[in-house]
A and B are shown apart, each in its own frame.
Chain A
Amino acid sequence: MKVRIKFSKEGPVKFIGHLDIMRYFQKAIRRADIDIAYSMGFNPHQIMSFASPLSVGHESSGEYFDIELNSMTDTEDIKNRLNEVMTDGIKIIKVAALDEGEGNAMASVAAADYLVRFSDKVTLPDDFKEKLTDYYEQEHIYVTKKTKKSEKEIDLKEGIYKLQVREDGVFMQLDAGSGSNLKPGFVLEHFFETIGVELPEFPFRIRRLETYRKTKKGKLMPLIS
């Protein structure tokens, strides 16, 4: 049977990279004595699937991974046992059993919410809110995306599902599907470029708020809903 685990990552632990977070959870699952299933072979590994890698330096209150279990008590017990062995800054928020046949966390990801705050070194123009709103309300936002091999023109607008200037920063809901994933920093950098504002190094404080899957009817739902 499979369970999906939702956790948050806040404070100094944001500097731990994705691969190390995976290793961290492998060890945590052993410390918590959770009856996880292992792959076959000479070097068995835990059957675990992370939804979406979080960049180093980003915080999150909506991270997910799935694990396969041999036996299970109940989801509340798994949550409590994991929370007992967590380090400061990483907290298990929810654990849910997955239905048979449900897609794994990584394949399910369709979108994510972000809150972006600015570092003290960023000077926002007085009409920042209007400018960003105008930017978002364009019908198309074409940009040239450079990859290692090619350049292609994409329409950012297709991947921005929501964008709002809030008291505490800029809220965005972005496409997070494999292949079409949009990074919040990329969108904002493009915006500042179009209005001609130069940014300092590391201008954004980014927090992922939630990760979504798409239902059969095309509706976005949190990975655990």
Chain B
Amino acid sequence: MSRRVRDRKRLEGYLPPEGVPISFSIASIGARFGAQVLDIALTYGFIILLVYAMVTTGALPIEAMFALVMLCVFLIRVPYYILAELVWNGRTVGKRLVGIRVINAEGRRLTPHQIVARNLMKEVELFTPVTMVFTVDAMSGLGVLLTLVWVLAVLIVPLANRRRQRLGDMVAGTIVVDNPRNVLLPDLALSLPVQGSARPVFDFLPSHLDIYGRFELQTLEKVLRDPVKGEEPPDFGQISRTIIRKIGYADPVRPGQERAFLNAFYRAQREHLETLRLFGNRREDKFHSAPES
């Protein structure tokens, strides 16, 4: 279940020109909404500052001021988004703050055409409906209904498709994803085995290592890594007892040595599975010996 949920939020099999598929995590609706709100707040905040500065200094005659403000109001709508995404490679200021970005859905670089197309559609998807919602008091019943249908249609589109594309994204062929972030954690097979000079030796027979597959190995890896702050440390005794029972390990494991046992088991199991992998035998999980259904 949890794996299926993860799949829905990720864009798998994204193929850059090098031909090695990579994956991105698709930005959540919340993040995109936040970025949009930030952008609107920033741009209109700029206008308000501008007006305030001009009124207090009185540098310009009233007509010129009005003209300048009108020009700016025009520029902070579609042109701002186009220029920002062009200059910062698919990120407006709001998107930068939230940590999301626009990418080309086809694994090429983002083209200017795509940026222009997706932002022109913003007029129909965002600015006009919002303006209409503000003037809803002055509307007839039909107008209210029309506005409602419009807003609903625009909202449903990104919620209804798997890749969270709005209409503009579909026209342009773009996807909004989270900025990838990475930390290289140490290799468990390298960093863990030696702990003091009196290192207990555990020997595993091939029959011990034929039980589990990739999924169980990587789950063990997650457990063995230093726990995230605020989480309870895992009960190594319990885990090692379960593993000993499942694989039928005969030698005694003394209390206090559970951690060392798990490390040794991780290393042996990984070596075994990786070797099998080289010969084309990919054991995805512990059901690998079950008949194909």
A binds B: no
**A interface with B by C-beta (< 8 Å):** none
